[in-house]
A and B are shown apart, each in its own frame.
Chain A
Amino acid sequence: GDSVTQMEGPVTLSEEAFLTINCTYTATGYPSLFWYVQYPGEGLQLLLKATKADDKGSNKGFEATYRKETTSFHLEKGSVQVSDSAVYFCALTGGGSEKLVFGKGTKLTVNP
C-alpha cells in the first residue's frame, strides 16, 4: 500500500539556519502530496501541497517540490525562526482517495 517515509527527528537548529526535512513516498498512480504542521497544543494545519509532478508548493517561506523521478517531497526553508518550532508531517492521498497517509512526523526546535 501507499506509504510515506520522512526523516526522523528531532531536528534542532539555530534561528536563521537553513532547514531541510526529507520526505519520500511510495504510491501507485499519481498521488497528491502535503506537508502539515502541528504547533504545540494545536491541531495539524495544512502548510503546503502539490498535486502533480514538478509542482512547487509554498507557504510562509517554506517550499517543497513534487519530484516524481525520486518520489520525494522535501520541505525546505531558507531561514527558520523560533516560531517555526513545531512537528512537521509529510502526507499523501492517492488513487482517487481522500484518505491521508502520513509519515511519522519530524519535531523541529529552533533556538534563538
Chain B
Amino acid sequence: GAVVSQHPSWVICKSGTSVKIECRSLDFQATTMFWYRQFPKQSLMLMATSNEGSKATYEQGVEKDKFLINHASLTLSTLTVTSAHPEDSSFYICSARNELKNNEQFFGPGTRLTVL
C-alpha cells in the first residue's frame, strides 16, 4: 500500500505557543508532500508544497514565517504553526506524492489544532 500518517491527531495549545505537526510516508519515499488546511464545511485549501531538501513553495496568502515547513527526509515533512492564535484553529491535512504510483497523492488522516 501507500500509507501516510500524521502526528498528533489532535492538539490543544495556548495562544502564543508553537505547535509542530508531523507527516510521514510509512512505506514509500516522497520527494514532494503537500499541506492543506480545512475549515468546517469548507474545502481543503492547499497551503504549501513541501520539497525534500529545498524550501517549501507557499500558496498566495499563506504566511511562510507563520507556517514553517521542513522536509528533511524522504519520509518526513513537518509543519510548525508559530505563535499560534485562535484563528489558526483548523484541521491540517498532509499528502505525499508517490512517484511509483503514477504520482498519486496519498493523504494523512489529518490533525485537529485548537488554539485557546
Interface positions of A (Cβ within 8 A of B):
4, 36, 41-46, 89, 98-105
Inside 8 A of A45's CB, which chain B residues have their CB? 107
- Beta-carbon nearest neighbor of A90 in chain B: B43
CB-based A-B contact count at 8 angstroms? 42
- A43 and B42 within 8 A (CB): no
Say what secondary structure dominates the interface of chain A: loop
Q: Which of B46, B105, B109, B110 has the most CB of A within 10 A?
A: B105
Chain B: minimal CB distance from A107 (Å): 10
In the complex, A102→B93 CA distance in Å?
13
Given contacts A41-B109, A43-B107, A102-B45, 6 further A-B contacts (CB under 8 A): A4-B43, A43-B6, A43-B93, A43-B108, A43-B109, A103-B43
The digit string for B82-113, where 1 denotes a CB below 8 A from any CB of A, is 00000000000101010000011111111000
Give the interface size bracket for B toward A. Answer: 20 to 34
B98 to chain A, nearest CB (A): 11
Chain B: minimal CB distance from A23 (Å): 12
B4 on the A face (CB < 8 A): yes
Q: Is the CB of B110 within 8 A of A102?
A: no
